[in-house]
Amino acid sequence: MRTTPVLTRLAWRYLWRNHRRTIIMLSAIVIGVWAMIFMTALTRGMVDQMIKDGISVLPGHVQAHNPLFLDDPSVSNRISIGDAELSRMFDPLSFKAWASRVKVPAVITSERESRGVTLLGIDPAAERAFSFVTYDDVEGRFLESAEDNAVVIGRKLANTLDTRIGKRVVLMSQDPDNEIADRGFRVAGLFEASMPAFEEMYVFVGKKTAQKMLRIGDATTEIVFVGDDYRDVEPTYDRVRETLDGDLKVSRWYEIDTYLGTMLKVMDGFVLIWVIVIFLALSFGLVNTLVMAVFERIREIGLMLALGMKPASILGQIIIESMMLLAVGLAIGDLLAWATIQPLKEGIDISAVAEGMEMMGASSVLYPKLYLYDMLLANVVVLILGFLASLSPAWRASRYEPVEAITKVG
């Protein structure tokens, strides 16, 4: 439209005619936009961390089990495909990482106490990519190979069991014939986990050692795969299913940890609701500002109409003015959000409520996560809703009769 430049100029100048009002409204928009993005980044950070922690324990994006295993986690329901065969099947698929492991419930007994745990028989080399234990941070040492004869347990478990590095513990589980299978291990290392509950739940032994103890040859109970992005596991899922061709039950991470899966969905919904709620709270002020802006220049609108400006141009002028106000507010708000989130990238220590966060499944350091997508969502929602909110005052402004408007005594 050829009138756009003149409308834009008029809109901009009018915006600053009453600069106090504009600045107040702008401040409100900036605070609103900042709150939208900041809050979203915090929740995203929390959920991301939860999922990262959660997946690294599951671990992986996609898992394969014997179809009976999930309901009856016993070595009777094992995966009998040997390692050589698994390598032949999965190595060519170039997943980010994959590993087969022995994972069964077990009892650990020290000289003084016993506890129920989950025994993880792993090949440390294959698991390094996605374990929740950072091998290097382990006090003592981590497992060195699949044949390693030692056990690595959580620091908290060691405390309850009254044991320490170098001491012996006994692990007890069942073999395929339901006979008790047990073996003594020397504690080689103590690990720390971001979620204290994991320190009590998991014990690591060598995969081969576990297989020997459980008398299952080279069978395993779980195969885990890591793809590129936990939000998009379909490609990995499809390839694993195709390759296994119906022999095993293949599950996506959110089917196994339904809590995390829902959490992710709920948070997506929350982000949108939060953005809309803030906008609605802002919209009253926005409409008010526009109504006032129109009211105080009714005569000028009448003049423009009398001079031959089309009503559509008046409509456009008010909407451009509103969009400019929002755009400036969004720009500053975005910048402010970025500037406040950036220094917090290293994490916010919220250990004061650590156990509460653990109850929610989150760890005690919060890493705000600013996603471009969320920022765009907030901006687009504000602009679209802002456009809709300005329609009514702008429409009214364009409906004035020039004579009435011009003779209006303010």
Partner 1 sequence: MAAVRCVDLCKTYRQGDQDIKALDHVSIEIAEGGFVCLSAPSGGGKTTLLNAIGGLDIPDSGEVWIAGRRIDQMSKGELADLRLSSIGFVFQAYNLIPVLTAQENIEFVMQIQGVPAAERRTKSLAILEEVGLAGLEGRRPAEMSGGQQQRVAVARAIVSRPALVLADEPTANLDSRTSDELMTLFTELNEHHNTTFVIATHDQRVMGYAKRLIRMLDGRIVDDIDQHAA
Partner 2 sequence: MNIVLRLAWRNLWRHSKRTWLTIGAMVFSNTLLVFMISIQFGMYGLMIDNTLQVFSGHMQIQAPGYKDDQKMRQVVPHVVQLASNLRKELQTDTIAARGWAFALASSEERSYGIGVFGVEPVFEPRVSNIPGLIKEGRYLRDPDATEIVIGAVLARNLRVATGDELTLLGSGRDGSFSAAVVHVVGVFESGVVDIDRNFGEMPLETFQDVFYMDGAGHQVVVSAATLDEAELLQPKVVAALPGGTDLVVHDWDALQPGLRQAIQADMSSAFFMYGILVILVAFSVLNTQLMSVLERTHEFGIVMSLGLKAGRLGRLIMLETALMGIIGMIIGSITGAIFTSWFTVNGLSIPGMEEMAANFNLPARIYPEVTPWTAVAGPLVVFLFTLLASAYPALRLHRLHPVEAMRAN
Q: Which stretch binds partner 2 (CB under 8 A): 109-117, 239-247, 301-309, 375-383?
A: 109-117
Which secondary structure element, helix H or strand E, spans residue 252, and what is its range? strand 249-252
Structure tokens that stand for 151 in this block: 């056990």
Dihedral sign, Cα of residue 164, residue 203, residue 119, residue 113: positive
**Which of 366, 340, 368 is closest to 351 using CA atoms?**
366
Would strands 97-109 and 168-174 be described as parallel, antiparallel, or unpaired?
Answer: antiparallel
**3-state DSSP assignment of residue 191:** strand
Residue 294 in tokens: 């129109």
One of 281, 306, 331, 376 touching partner 2 (CB under 8 A): 281
Number of residues that bind partner 1 (CB under 8 A): 25
Q: How far is the CB of 192 from partner 2 (least distance, A)?
A: 17
Beta carbon nearer to partner 2, 25 or 309: 25
Going by DSSP bridges, is the β-strand pair 180-191/139-140 parallel, antiparallel, or unpaired? antiparallel
Q: Which stretch binds partner 2 (CB under 8 A): 159-167, 210-218, 301-309, 376-384?
A: 159-167
Copy the structure tokens of residue 339: 């500037």
Per-residue contact flags (x/-) with partner 1 for residues 292 to 331, judged by CB under 8 A: -------xx--xxxxxxxxx-x------------------
Measure the CA angle with vertex 103, ends 184 and 250; round to 5°.
165
Q: How far is the CB of 198 from partner 2 (least distance, A)?
A: 14
- CA nearest 12: which of 293, 380, 298, 394? 293
Q: Could you identify the residue written with the tokens 């395929």? A: 176
Output the six-digit token pair for 220: 């395993």
Site for partner 2 in 22-51 (CB under 8 A): 24-25, 27-28, 31-32, 35, 39, 42-43
Span interacting with partner 1, options 84-92, 349-357, 370-378, 396-404, rule CB under 8 A: 396-404
296 binds, among partner 1, partner 2, none (CB under 5 to 8 A by kind): partner 2
Quote the CA–CA distance of 79 and 249 in Å, as a whole number: 10
User: Would you tell me the crossing angle of helices 258-295 and 19-57 to the nearest 10 degrees?
Assistant: 170
Residue 262 interacts with partner 2 (CB under 8 A): yes or no: yes
Q: How far apart are alpha carbons 236 and 226 in whole angstroms? A: 8
Applying CB under 8 A, does 385 fall inside the site for partner 2?
no
Nearer to partner 1, 51 or 293 (CB): 293
Where do contacts with partner 2 occur on this chain (CB under 8 A)?
A: 18, 20-21, 24-25, 27-28, 31-32, 35, 39, 42-43, 71-74, 105-107, 109, 111-117, 159-160, 162, 172-174, 178, 180, 258-259, 261-263, 265-266, 269, 274, 277-278, 280-282, 284-285, 287-289, 291-292, 295-296, 350, 352-361
Where do contacts with partner 1 occur on this chain (CB under 8 A)?
A: 2-3, 5-6, 9-10, 13-14, 17, 299-300, 303-311, 313, 401-403, 406
